[in-house]
Amino acid sequence: MRKAQYIIALDQGTTSTRSIIFTPTGQALSVSRREFPQHYPKLGWVEHNPEDIWNDAIFTIKTAISEAKLDNKISEIAAIGITNQRETVVLWDKATGKPLYNAIVWQDRRTSEYCQKLKATGIEQTIHEKTGLLLDPYFSATKLAWLLDNVANARARAERGELAFGTIDSFLLWRLTGGKVHATDATNASRTLLFNIKTQSWDPELLKIFNIPESLLPEVKDNSTLFGTTNSELFGHAIPIMGMAGDQQAALIGQACFEQGMTKATYGTGCFMLLNTGDQMVISQNRMLTTTAYRLNGKPTYALEGSIFVAGAAIKWLRDGIGLITHASQTNDMATQVENNHEVYMVPAFVGLGAPHWAPNAKALITGLTFNATAAHVARAALESIAYQTYDLGKAMKKDSNSDIMTIRVDGGMSANDWFCQFLADIMNITVERPSYIETTAMGAAYLAGMASGIWNDLSDVSQHWAQGSTFRSNMKEDERTKKIKGWNFALKQALLTDD
Ligand SMILES: Nc1ncnc2c1ncn2[C@@H]1O[C@H](COP(=O)(O)OP(=O)(O)O)[C@@H](O)[C@H]1O
Ligand SMILES: O=P(O)(O)OC[C@H](O)CO
């Protein structure tokens, strides 16, 4: 029998789920991807059906196994690594494994009034110091509180110990292990507002603030360790689950940003920029987040994070919302076609604005329209807006970390857009590095599982697999950059006025 050598990375994102099988040299053997429905039951509400997520996880894993021709060689799969959209909340019945309600997605704003009320009590500073986060509906705690207070009998049942709470990683782990393991990892726990990132444990004071019964919570584990074993009926053979991390932290790992100061930005549905701060827990003075980057052998490494809620989603809106394009990649040529932005700016506050503004009720807008504006200008404005938002994050992080960001490693669907990458380098006046393989989130999950199962030794071993693809260097004159940023700030100010 051949040695177990392959790793399955299960990447459960906001709009799609993919499974990728990796070889010990970090090559992808097969990929299976499925998009799933988004539900918007009310203005500002965003939900997923957890059964869709579960079915797609199983479907993509099985398809990836088949395409890699491993159906009869399941024992050659050494481990599964899970990575996931963070903060999204599932509450389920421990006896049946059935969710009580749809998953409330990280983009959902239904608890913004609750957050405002809590802010008025003056508690935000305490929360910020313990969790590194801010009081915003983005994070899990207020969503979980909403479920407990709005789903019939949920609170009483939670208090009787009948229910389990988890982010998507936990829910998938519970299902994959046949209801045997209720656990999460330190990075996902760090996004709940209930986890103290200094002590690396659930915090009783935070549980009290948000009125969350402790019995609901999963055990918090390191990122690279044995989480459990799949129910053998699922894939015909039990496979150990040996890695787990939130998708943005997994991308940091997949990008091999292991040294202090190394920075990555992932452009998927949103954009999340993380700067590795090593063992320093830098508490931001500029509305950035502090988060656990990874925890290995009990030792946490921290990161500063800037979270932009809408990046690729703005391009998806051009396609699905207003039918301006039929493929996301068209925006590349459209932006190239026009000489400049004609003063057209988009502020993509479709679900409010995240860092550094934290304006949950702000609305998106397009400014500067004249009869000279064309579809290409609007497409270009959408791409530009993501670069300006990244510029704002970079400025804040520079102040917090007291260091210059000279290079950013990019990944995610939108990083395939060359025009965007060049504009990002120009506006930020930095070097943008795109790896040859941009599925770094899945790669990160594979590394975590592979380190625990002995395929790779440690971080320096996995960093050998990072390979440079394209490099984009700044090529814009300072006065042009200044003028564009001024135009962006003007548009941004108008969007912030809508945050009522
Ligand atoms: N060539 C492109 N140019 C601009 N945006 C793109 C391009 N290709 C994909 N996208 C955008 O990237 C997003 C998909 O990226 P992905 O990393 O798969 O997202 P997620 O993991 O959040 O589901 C979509 O929102 C899509 O609009
Ligand atoms: O699914 P993505 O790639 O848009 O990532 C979502 C983030 O984890 C939300 O914090």
pLDDT tens digits, residue range 140-174? 999 999 999 999 999 999 999 999 999 999 999 99
Ligand 1 contacts CB of residue 405 (under 6 A):
no
The residue whose CA is least distant from atom 20 of ligand 1 is: 268
Q: Which ligand is nearest to the CA of 105?
A: 2
Token output for 337: 């076609």
**What are 227's two structure tokens?**
């989480």
Residues 6+ apart with CB under 8 A from 33: 16, 17, 18, 60
In a domain, 351, yes or no: no
Please give the Cα distance from 317 to 322 (Å, whole number). Answer: 7
Comparing C-alpha atoms, which of 197, 202, 208, 220 is closest to residue 129?
Answer: 197
Residue 130 placed within a domain:
yes
Ligand 2 atom nearest 269 alpha carbon: 4
Given this model, what pLDDT does residue 360 score?
85
- Quick one: what percent of the chain has pLDDT higher than 90? 94
- Candidate of 414, 420, 424 to mutate for ligand 1, largest count of ligand atoms within 8 Å of Cβ: 414
Q: Is 413 annotated as a binding residue?
A: yes
What pLDDT score was predicted for residue 402? 84
Q: Is position 323 within any domain?
A: no
The CA 13 to ligand 2 mean position distance, Å, reads: 6
From 222, 255, 312, select the one nearest 13 (Cα to Cα).
Answer: 312
Mean pLDDT of the chain: 95
Q: Average pLDDT in the 79-104 region?
A: 98
Can you tell me the distance from the alpha carbon of 493 to that of 478, in angstroms, rounded to the nearest whole number?
A: 22
Q: What pLDDT is recorded for position 96?
A: 96
Pairing outcome for strands 407-411 and 263-267: parallel
Q: If you measure from the C-alpha of residue 85 to the centroid of ligand 2, how many angstroms do you get, rounded to a whole number?
A: 4
Q: For residue 263, what are its two tokens?
A: 């920075």
Substitution candidate for ligand 1 out of 315, 332, 333, 419 with most atoms within 8 A of CB? 315
pLDDT digits (tens, 9 = 90+) for 185-210: 999 999 999 999 999 999 999 999 99
Q: Is the ipTM of this complex over 0.95?
A: yes
Centre of ligand 2 from the C-alpha of residue 272, in Å:
8
Tokens of 357: 């503004």
Instruction: List CB contacts of 121: < 8 A, sequence separation 6 or more.
Output: none
In whole angstroms, give the CA distance from residue 56 to residue 476. 44
- Residue 33 inside a domain? The answer is yes
Assess whether the C-beta atom of 269 lies below 6 angstroms from ligand 1. Answer: yes
Ligand 2 pocket, 86 CB below 6 A? yes
| Residue whose CA is at the smallest distance from ligand 1 atom 10 | 414
Q: Is the beta carbon of 248 within 6 A of some atom in ligand 2?
A: yes
Residue range 324-353: mean pLDDT, rounded: 95
- For residue 403, tell me if it sits in a domain: no
Token duo for residue 491: 């548009």
Nearest to 106 by CA among 141, 61, 71: 141
Atom of ligand 2 nearest to the CA of 13: 1
Measured between alpha carbons, how far is 379 from 331 in angstroms, rounded to an integer? 6
**Cα 218 from Cα 416, distance rounded (Å):** 36
87 in contact with ligand 2, CB cutoff 6 A: yes
Rounded to the nearest angstrom, the distance between the alpha carbon of 33 and the centre of ligand 1 is 13
Q: Is 29 part of a structural domain of the chain? A: yes
Q: Is the CB of 269 under 6 A from ligand 2?
A: yes
- Quick one: which of 181, 183, 110 has its CA closest to 145? 110
- Residue 402 in domain: no
- Give CA–CA dist 401/223, Å, rounded: 25
SS3 category, 280: coil
> Please, which pLDDT band fits residue 438 given cuts at 50, 70 and 90?
confident
Residue of the CA atom closest to atom 9 of ligand 2 = 86
* 434 annotated as ligand-binding: no
* Domain count along the chain: 1
Range of the domain at 18: 6-248
DSSP string of 144-201? HHHHHHHSTTHHHHHHTT-EEEE-HHHHHHHHHTTS---EEEHHHHTTSSSEETTTTE
Read off the pLDDT of residues 231-272 as tens digits, 9 standing for 90 and up.
999 998 999 999 999 999 999 999 999 999 999 999 998 999
pLDDT confidence of residue 1: 53
Q: Within 13 A of 330's CA, how many CA atoms are on the CB side?
A: 15
Side-chain half-sphere of 64: how many Cα atoms within 13 Å?
28
pTM of structure? 0.94
- CATH code for the domain in which residue 84 is found: 3.30.420.40
Q: Give the per-residue pLDDT at 2.
A: 61
Q: Is the CB of 307 under 6 A from ligand 1?
A: no
Long-range contacts of residues 154-163, Cβ cutoff 8 Å, at least 24 apart: 154/91, 154/100, 154/101, 155/213, 157/93, 158/91, 158/213, 158/215, 158/216, 159/213, 159/215, 161/94, 161/215, 162/93, 162/94, 162/95, 163/91, 163/92, 163/93, 163/94, 163/100, 163/216
Is 423 among the domain residues? no
Q: Is the CB of 328 under 6 A from ligand 1?
A: yes
Residue 344 and residue 384 in contact, taking contact as beta carbons nearer than 8 Å: no
Query: What is the DSSP code (8-state) at residue 493?
Result: H
CA of 12 to the centre of ligand 2 (A): 9
**Residue 122: which H helix or E strand, with range?**
none
Tens-digit pLDDT profile for residues 1-14: 567 899 999 999 99
The answer, yes or no, to whether any atom of ligand 1 lies below 6 A from the CB of 36, is: no
